[in-house]
Amino acid sequence: MKRMVTVFLGAALVAGLAWATPEDDRQAFVEYFQNRFPDVAVADYINGVYAIDPGAYEQWVQIEEFAPYELAIAEGKELFETPFANGKTYADCFPNGGIGIRQNYPYFDTATGQVKTLELEINECREKNGEKPLGYKKGPIASISAYMAFTSRGQVLDVKIPDDPRAMAAYEHGKEFYYSKRGQLNFSCADCHVSNSGMMIRADRLSPALGHPTHFPVYRSKWNDMGTLHRRFDGCNKQVRAVPLKAQGEEYRDLEYFVTYMSNGLVINGPGARK
Amino acid sequence: MHKKYVIAGALILAGFQAGLAQAADEAAYKAACDAAEEARKMSAELKYEWNTVAPLIEKAGAAATAGDFGKAVSLCDEARLQSEAAVAQARQQADDWRSAVVK
């Protein structure tokens, strides 16, 4: 009996040592897509579905020339620079005055033990300065986020998971969300954007998960509007007939933490235009 | 004269019975929809609610208002079954998701 326990503990220890680190996860993720789409350069995954669909790519390049998100960038810049009632601006809340910092989000905030996204901090900045928070899925927050992404184009995504068990737990929580089947249709994010990426679902080709967060927020023709990453999560949850969770709630923030970590090393090219 | 009383009595009795039947149907509707609502809440607590459930419960309410308790019961039964499936899905995924991770 005692020996069995020892053997069991030993096995658990080995399993524990063999547990994948986030970096192992990321490398396996990138490798998976390299094997699945051997002709696609890793750097091109920032282009979403257009990276794997040459026909649609040509059309999309044309759309990007008269980019439908230009207005949002201009509006976002104006909102970003307009002082609050107390005279402060967004620039006062962010490192480097909020310019060229998109690639560092989301990050784990050891002070609060929470994952902080860019949109969450935009609202925290407003509230700190006596302004009402904005809705998280579209409207002014998408414009401000679009402007901040625009000033960060070309910067390399660099999401960090600090040596803090709470940060690791948030990452694992996001990973669990990504791989868990949900809704009446019983699909996980990974079912569509990993193992069926490149396949058609009704009129859409499923984009690979790698590179997903680099170009958000996006102008989406179907919305006729800008939307944040959490607006997209919301839509993808509904597609499988699940009730979506709260934008910027813990689940979606942790999900963003995992998804964005998987795209570390790719460059920011937001905002983007999508079908 | 006599006959009139008999008819009136029969009508009252019939009405009474219909009333009883309605009360029974209404109680069945309440029980079915309370159970559905409870199951829905449990799935929502697990963050696994299906978006097909609330519309079923809503339709059941409309059917009940229109007096069609039979239809209301079957709609709520369906809502409960779906919510129970969602709860089972949550429990299963808590174990299964790891095997889906890209390695």
pLDDT band at A10 (very low <50, low <70, confident <90, very high): very low
- What's the complex ipTM? 0.89
The whole-angstrom distance between A186's CA and the closest CA on chain B is 8
Q: Does B49 touch chain A (CB under 8 A)?
A: yes
Helix (H) or strand (E) holding A200: strand A200-201
Domain range spanning residue A175?
38-67+162-266
Scanning every residue of chain A, which has its alpha carbon at the shortest distance from the alpha carbon of B44? A243
The whole-angstrom distance between B81's CA and the closest CA on chain A is 12
What is the per-residue pLDDT for B4? 76
Q: For A120-130, what is each residue's pLDDT tens digit?
A: 999 999 999 99
pLDDT band at B22 (very low <50, low <70, confident <90, very high): confident
- A120 and A256 in a single domain? The answer is no
Dihedral sign for Cα A43, A46, A49, A53, please.
negative
Nearest to A176 among B49, B51, B97 (CB): B97
- Residue at which a domain ends, from A95, A123, A150: A150
The whole-angstrom distance between B39's CA and the closest CA on chain A is 14
What is the per-residue pLDDT for B10? 67
CA distance B56 to B34: 13
pLDDT band at A18 (very low <50, low <70, confident <90, very high): low
Domain residue extents for chain B: 2-100
Q: Which residue has the higher pLDDT, A19 or A63?
A: A63
- A117 and A139 in a single domain? The answer is yes
Q: Which residue has the higher pLDDT, A271 or B16?
A: A271
What is the per-residue pLDDT for B23? 78
Scanning every residue of chain B, which has its alpha carbon at the shortest distance from the alpha carbon of A181? B93
Residues in chain A, how many?
275
- A180 and A242 in a single domain? The answer is yes
pLDDT over 90, % of chain B: 75
Q: Which sequence positions of A are flagged as catalytic? A: 236
CA distance B53 to B41: 11
What is the per-residue pLDDT for B56? 98
Domain count, chain A: 2
Q: Average pLDDT for residues A37-63, to the nearest whole number? A: 94
Q: Does A241 touch chain B (CB under 8 A)?
A: yes
Q: Does B42 touch chain A (CB under 8 A)?
A: no
Q: Average pLDDT for residues A76-96, to the nearest whole number? A: 98
- A60 and A97 in a single domain? The answer is no
pLDDT band at B11 (very low <50, low <70, confident <90, very high): low
Task: Using CB atoms within 10 Å of the CB of residue B14, give its burial: 0 to 12 exposed, 13 to 18 middle, 19+ buried.
Answer: exposed
- A243 and A166 in a single domain? The answer is yes
Residues in A touching B88 (Cβ below 8 Å): none
Residue A139, domain CATH: 1.10.760.10
Q: What is the pTM of this model?
A: 0.92
What is the per-residue pLDDT for A57? 92
- A118 and A169 in a single domain? The answer is no
Tell me whether residue A259 is in a domain: yes
- A186 and A251 in a single domain? The answer is yes
Scanning every residue of chain B, which has its alpha carbon at the shortest distance from the alpha carbon of A21? B103
C-alpha distances in Å from residue A2, one per residue of A6, A66, B25: 6, 72, 62
Q: Do the Cβ atoms of A184 and B50 come within 8 Å?
A: yes
What is the per-residue pLDDT for B21? 73
Is residue A267 scored above 70 in pLDDT? yes
- A137 and A211 in a single domain? The answer is no
Q: Average pLDDT for residues B38-57, to the nearest whole number? A: 98
Residues in B touching A194 (Cβ below 8 Å): 102
